[in-house]
């Protein structure tokens, strides 16, 4: 058999069920690959090698007994903002460097119930605040397609691990595009489900009305299989949707005849790289060739998404991160008095986290609440109404995931606004609580991946997954692998 790490998640799952490979062999091969490659990519913060091999051995026994759990024996990576019992969960921050959760997040329990092998915790921008994984307190993850470039963020570690064959699938979180944008930049598939589809219980909070766990895969089927395994209702999360999880495997028919695809003018604007626009428009033409009906639409309040997001998300972050005060939660750095102790403890936050806390605190302060945070909430309602009106005319929306391909490490760190603009095409979805994904649709002249974003109405994961699957089956972009994979 070929190199085991080259298999997709679904190929591996089927090979394990047929008894052609063992989970132990696959897990060991992947761990060896991580040791060989990850010093360059730096996708993992913590490697759980011994527990992973123990889970693999248990999976092999279950497979021998005829167990057919959906991810039985498949090695998966988990973003280090998701709690794992007995293993550090740092959220990419010095303030949680020594935090070892006594419990699993809901999604980790779901993975274990599905039989997955958890390889380790992947790098993230601190508290998921960033678009490049350069804000991690520990190190910058590198893009497997070009190690001098960013993998996107904040789930850059998960995207890079999947792209570099260091995991068969991975979990991330998406607050403003943090699954879809790194998926686009790393040439993999990334799904951000409807808000509430996957429980946030046990996920370190950034912005609670925007945060959502998402999935990464090398193919649409991989991404869908992982979504099906971790989605579901959880009474511990008050925003969790008590609805059945759709059978996404059956939904991947590839038939999109008559599908109405909206193309919003507001997503094809100045600042969109010409090569990216060409690739995305060609992808939309391919959907039309497959039987979809392409229709121009407008989302008129899109230009307000960026400022609204950067008032709402920092305001919620200011509230959520207030618990890190050296008094009742996390580390305590002693000062000369109580005020100084809080100040010294919070000095452990990185510069981007401090920036967003200050922005959020200001937006919530007396005399400014209505002018900033309150107004941003009204704009959010207008953006949501734009999407509702659009979905009255079309079944899904197609656009670019990112305005550019992966940029150089350090290129935007001195200019926070240019960094924020990296998410300009993904923010609206989070504000509207819709669902969306990114699927590879080409490369630029430098050989860097480009992503096509498909946005669906609330609870329409099967629609966007099937459209992405149809496109994927008609093209070969998803089969391209970065040179580091063959090194």
Of the candidates 254, 255, 256, 272, the one whose C-alpha atom is nearest the C-alpha of residue 264 is: 272
Could you count the other beta carbons within 10 Å of the beta carbon of residue 406?
A: 28
Tokens 């509230």 locate to 319
Would residue 354 show up in a list of annotated catalytic residues for this protein?
no
Which one of 93, 155, 158, 178 is the catalytic residue? 178
- Angstrom distances, CA of residue 299 to CA of 23, 138, 268, 278, 395: 47, 39, 12, 21, 15
* Inter-residue contact 138 to 157 (CB < 8 Å): no
* Inter-residue contact 398 to 263 (CB < 8 Å): yes
Which one of 22, 23, 42, 79 is the catalytic residue? 79
The sign of the torsion formed by the CA atoms of 157, 114, 191, 436 equals negative
Sequence-ordered alpha helix ranges (H) in 5-127 = 9-17, 23-41, 49-64, 106-113
Would residue 79 show up in a list of annotated catalytic residues for this protein?
yes
Overall residue count recorded for the chain in this entry: 487
* Cα–Cα dist 290/398, whole Å: 14
* Inter-residue contact 298 to 266 (CB < 8 Å): yes
Would residue 428 show up in a list of annotated catalytic residues for this protein?
no
What is 347-386 written as a DSSP string? TTS-HHHHHHHHHHHHHHSTTTTIIIIIHHHHHHHHHHHH
Which one of 23, 136, 154, 434 is the catalytic residue? 154
Show which residues are catalytic.
79, 154, 178
């Amino acid at each position: 058999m070929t190199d085991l790490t080259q298999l997709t998640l679904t190929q591996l799952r089927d090979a394990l069920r047929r008894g052609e490979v063992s989970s132990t062999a696959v897990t060991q091969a992947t761990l060896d690959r991580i040791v060989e490659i990850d010093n360059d990519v730096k996708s993992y913060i913590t490697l759980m090698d011994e527990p992973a091999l123990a889970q693999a051995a248990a999976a092999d026994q279950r497979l021998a007994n005829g167990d057919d759990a959906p991810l039985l024996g498949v090695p998966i990576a988990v973003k280090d903002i998701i709690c794992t019992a007995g293993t550090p969960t740092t959220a990419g921050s010095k303030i949680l460097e020594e935090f070892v959760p006594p419990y699993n997040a809901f999604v980790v329990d779901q993975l274990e119930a599905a039989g997955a092998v958890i390889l380790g915790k992947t790098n993230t921008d601190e508290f998921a605040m960033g678009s490049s994984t350069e804000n991690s307190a520990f190190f910058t993850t590198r893009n497997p397609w070009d190690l001098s470039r960013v993998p996107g963020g904040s789930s850059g570690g998960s995207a890079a691990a999947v792209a570099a064959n260091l995991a068969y699938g991975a979990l991330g979180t998406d607050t403003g595009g943090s699954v879809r944008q790194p998926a686009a930049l790393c040439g993999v598939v990334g799904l951000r489900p409807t808000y509430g589809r996957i429980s946030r219980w046990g996920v370190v909070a950034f912005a609670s009305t925007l945060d959502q766990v998402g999935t990464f895969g090398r193919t649409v089927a991989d991404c869908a299989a992982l979504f099906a395994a971790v989605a579901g209702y959880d009474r511990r999360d008050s925003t969790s949707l008590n609805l059945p999880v759709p059978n996404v495997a059956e939904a991947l028919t590839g038939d999109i005849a008559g599908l109405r695809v909206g193309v919003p003018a507001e997503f094809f604007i100045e600042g969109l790289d010409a090569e990216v626009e060409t690739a995305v428009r060609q992808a939309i033409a391919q959907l039309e060739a497959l039987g979809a009906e392409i229709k121009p639409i407008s989302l008129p309040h899109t230009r307000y998404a960026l400022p609204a997001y950067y008032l709402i998300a920092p305001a919620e972050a200011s509230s959520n991160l207030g618990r890190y005060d050296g008094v009742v939660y996390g580390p305590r750095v002693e000062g000369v008095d109580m005020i100084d102790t809080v100040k010294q403890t919070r000095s452990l936050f990185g510069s981007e986290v401090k920036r967003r806390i200050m922005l959020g605190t200001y937006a919530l302060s007396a005399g400014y609440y209505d002018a900033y945070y309150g107004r941003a909430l009204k704009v959010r309602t207008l953006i949501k109404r734009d999407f509702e009106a659009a979905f009255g005319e079309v079944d899904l929306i197609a656009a670019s995931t990112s305005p550019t391909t992966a940029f150089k490490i350090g290129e935007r760190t001195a200019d926070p606004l240019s960094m924020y603009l990296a998410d300009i095409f993904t923010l609206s979805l989070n504000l509207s609580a819709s669902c969306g994904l990114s699927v590879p649709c080409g490369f630029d002249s430098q050989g860097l991946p480009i992503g096509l974003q498909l946005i669906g109405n609330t609870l329409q994961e099967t629609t966007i997954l099937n459209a992405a699957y149809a496109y994927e089956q008609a093209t070969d972009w998803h089969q391209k692998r970065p040179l580091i994979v063959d090194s």
